[in-house]
Chain A
Amino acid sequence: MIEVTGAAKAFAVRRRTGRLRRSRTVVHAVRDLGFTVPRGAFVGLLGPNGAGKSTTIKMLTGILAPSAGTVRVCGLDPSRQRTALARRIGVVFGQRTTLWWDLPLRDSLDLARRLYRVEGRAHRARLAELTDLLELAPFLDTPVRQLSLGQRMRGDLAAALLHAPELLILDEPTIGLDVVSRATVRGFLERLNTERGTTVLLTTHDLGDIERLCPRVLIIDHGRLAFDGDLDRLRAEVGGERLLVVELARPGPPLRLPGVAVDRVEGPRQWLRLPEGESAAAVIARLAAGHEVRDIALRETGIDEVVARLYRGDRAYRAQ
C-alpha cells in the first residue's frame, strides 16, 4: 500500500547573517527514509517534534515532492498523481480542519461528497454508517464553529472517509481530545481497520493510541527511520529493565546489591533498576534478608518511558 525507498526532503532556509547578508542553509527534514506498509495494516508513526513525521505524511499525500528517493502510495506517485491518489486515500490533519467553519457539518460533508464524486445512494448509505459509528447525529446540523474539538474531529474523520478510501492517513487525530472522545475515535479506527480492512497510518504523540491500536510501530528520528517493529520488540530493544520501588523502615544510604543500580533515593524510598534477565524474586529475597522492608512495588517500563529513552538516545538502536 505504501512503499518508501530512500526518500529525502531538504528545505533551503535563508538566515540573516548581517545587515544585508543572508546565508542559505539546507535543512534535511527527512533523509534516506525507507519503509513499506502492506494492505490492511495498522501502523503507528512516532517521533519527537521536528523528527520529520509531518514531512513524511506530506510526501505520502503528494503535497510535497521528495527531493530524492521514491514514494509510492496505492501504486501511484503522490506528487505527480496527487489528484488520482486523493480519490483513493483519506487524510486527517488533527490540527487543521477540512470543514467549513460557518456552515453546518452536514454541508461540509455534502461538499466532500461532491469533491470526491460519491454517487447519491452510496453517499447516503456511507453517511448513515459514519453517523452511527462516530455518533454524529446530535450535531450534524450545527455550524462547525460551535462544535467541540472532539465533535469536530469526528466530523473531519467522516469527511475523510465518505469516499471509502483504501488508506487512511492520520496526523495526530487525538491531539487535545478528552478521554471519552479519544476512546470513541480509537474504537472507530479499530473497527475501520478490522471490519473494513482499511489500511491506517497514524502519527501521534499519544502512546495510548499506539498501545491500543498499532501492532507495528515506525519511529522516525532526525529524519531517519530509527525503529520498525512491534511494541514488545521496542520494549525489549530499548529498555527491558524494570523498576523496583522499595520502602524501607528508615531512610538510609543507597542500597548496595550486586547487579542492581539505585536510580533515586527519597527518604526511606529507593528506586532500583533491575537489569534484563535479573529475577525480581531473587533481588527481593536478598533485600529482605539484609534490611527491614515496609513495602515493595515492581514496575514494568511504560511505553512512555521506552519511547522517551529512545528519543533521548539512551541506548544504541538501529532500524531493522
Chain B
Amino acid sequence: MGVFAWVAWYAFRRHTAYPLASLAEAVTNTVFGFLRAYVLTALWAARPHLGGYDATDAVTFTFLTQALIGPVQIFGGLELSRRIRTGDVAIDLYRPAGLQAWWLADDLGRAAGSLVLRGGLPLAAGFLAFDLRAPGPAGLAACVPSFALAIVTGFALRYLVALGAFWLHDDRGLASVALVLSLFLSGMIVPLVVFPGPAGDVARALPWSALVQVPAEVFLGKRTGAGLASALAFQAAWAAALLAAGALATRRARRRLVIHGG
C-alpha cells in the first residue's frame, strides 16, 4: 500500500476513535431529518409533483441528505485551515508527500468513518418512520461512485477554502461564505429541482450540486442509463477541475508562504 492509503486508513481510525461523539452527531442529523421531512411533506401536500418529485421522493431526499452531512461535510471546514493559522502547516509542508494528496487521503478516511458511524442512523430512522424509496441493487451500485465523487468534490472545495488562509491569514470570512453557498446550492436546504427556471439551471450546473443533489438523484433512481453516466461525468469533471485548482493554489501558496507563529 502506498503512503496515502495508510494516511486514509489512519484517518479512518482517528475519526472512528470517538464513537459516542459520532452517535450524538448522528442523532442530531436524524432529528433534523424529521423536522425537514415534515416541512417538505407540508410543502408537497400543497404543491404535489413540485419539480417532478412526489412526496416520497422529497422525504427520501431529506433523510438521504441528512445521512450525507457527515461524509460530504456539507457544513465545511478542514483541519488544514487551523494548521495554516497556527503555523503547524510547517509539518505538512516539510513531509516528503504532496500537501493536497495527503489531505485528500486524510479526508477520504474521515469520510469513510463518517459514513459508517453517521450515515446509517438517519436513513434507518427514515425508513422506519416513513415510506422511503429504496434503490435496487443496480441503484445502490450506482450510488457508490456517485457518493465517492461527492466526497472528493466536497474535499476539493473545502481544500480551496482552507488554502485561502495562506492569503487571508484567517479563513473564517471565506468559510462563512462557503457555508451559505454550500447549504443553498447543494440542495441541502431544499432540493434544487424546486429552484425555478434559470436559477435552477445555474444552481444545478455549479459544483455544489455534485455534493448532494446529484448523488440524491442517483439514489432516488432519477438518473439511469445515459442520465447516470452524465451525472457521474458531471461530478467527476467538477472534482477534477477543483482538484486542479487546488493543486495550482498549493504551488502558489508554497511560493508566497509565510509560516505563522515562528
Give chain A's interface residues, CB within 8 Å of chain B. Answer: 11, 49, 54, 58, 61-65, 82-84, 86-87, 91, 93, 95-98, 100-103, 107, 110-111, 114-117, 143
Contacts and interface: CB of A to CB of B under 8 A. Distances in A.
A86 B10 contact: no
A112 B13 CA distance: 16
Nearest to B97: A115
A147 B259 CA distance: 26
B93 interface: yes
Interface in B1-25: 1, 3, 6-7, 10, 13-14, 17-18
B10 A107 contact: yes
A47 B232 CA distance: 57
Question: Nearest 3 pairs between A and B by C-beta?
Answer: A86-B96, A114-B6, A83-B96
A307 to B, nearest CB: 19
A107 B95 contact: no
A91 B96 contact: no
B138 interface: no
A63 B96 contact: no
A101 B15 CA distance: 11
Contacts of B3: 111, 114-115, 117
Contact of A87 (B18, B88, B96, B259): B96
A103 B13 contact: yes
B93 A63 contact: yes
9 contacts: A61-B94, A63-B90, A63-B94, A63-B257, A83-B97, A84-B96, A86-B94, A101-B14, A116-B96
B241 to A, nearest CB: 26
Contact of A96 (B90, B96, B97, B258): B90
Contacts of A93: 90-91
Given A11-B258, A61-B94, A96 B88 contact: yes
Contacts of B18: 102
Given A63-B90, A102-B14, A107-B10, 12 more contacts: A11-B258, A54-B262, A62-B94, A63-B93, A95-B262, A96-B87, A96-B90, A102-B18, A103-B13, A107-B13, A111-B7, A115-B97
A20 to B, nearest CB: 17
Interface of B: 1, 3, 6-7, 10, 13-14, 17-18, 87-88, 90-91, 93-97, 255, 257-259, 261-262
Contacts of A58: 90, 259
A101 B10 CA distance: 11
Contacts of B88: 96
B91 A96 contact: yes
A183 B10 CA distance: 33
A290 to B, nearest CB: 53
Contacts of B10: 100, 103, 107, 111
A12 to B, nearest CB: 9
A115 B97 CA distance: 8
B8 to A, nearest CB: 11
Nearest to B98: A83
A114 B13 CA distance: 16
Nearest to B5: A114
A171 to B, nearest CB: 9
A64 B259 contact: yes
Contacts of B90: 58, 63, 93, 96
B14 A103 contact: yes
A142 to B, nearest CB: 13
B6 to A, nearest CB: 4
Contacts of B14: 100-103
A115 B95 contact: yes
B163 to A, nearest CB: 16
Nearest to B102: A115
B259 A63 contact: yes
Nearest to A143: B17
B259 A98 contact: no
A227 to B, nearest CB: 21
A280 B119 CA distance: 80
A52 B258 CA distance: 13
A73 B6 CA distance: 29
A143 B88 CA distance: 19
Which of the listed residues A62, A83, A84, A114 has the most CB atoms from chain B within 10 Å of its own CB? Answer: A114
A102 B17 contact: yes
Report which residue of B7, B17, B87, B94 has the largest number of chain A beta carbons within 10 angstroms of its beta carbon: B94
A115 B96 contact: yes
Nearest to A50: B262
A144 B61 CA distance: 40
A98 B96 CA distance: 13
B10 to A, nearest CB: 6
Contact of A91 (B13, B94, B255): B94
Contacts of B255: 65
A82 B262 contact: no
Nearest to A78: B94
Contacts of B7: 111
Of B88, B90, B91, B258, most A-chain CB atoms within 10 Å: B90
Nearest to B256: A12
Contacts of A64: 257, 259
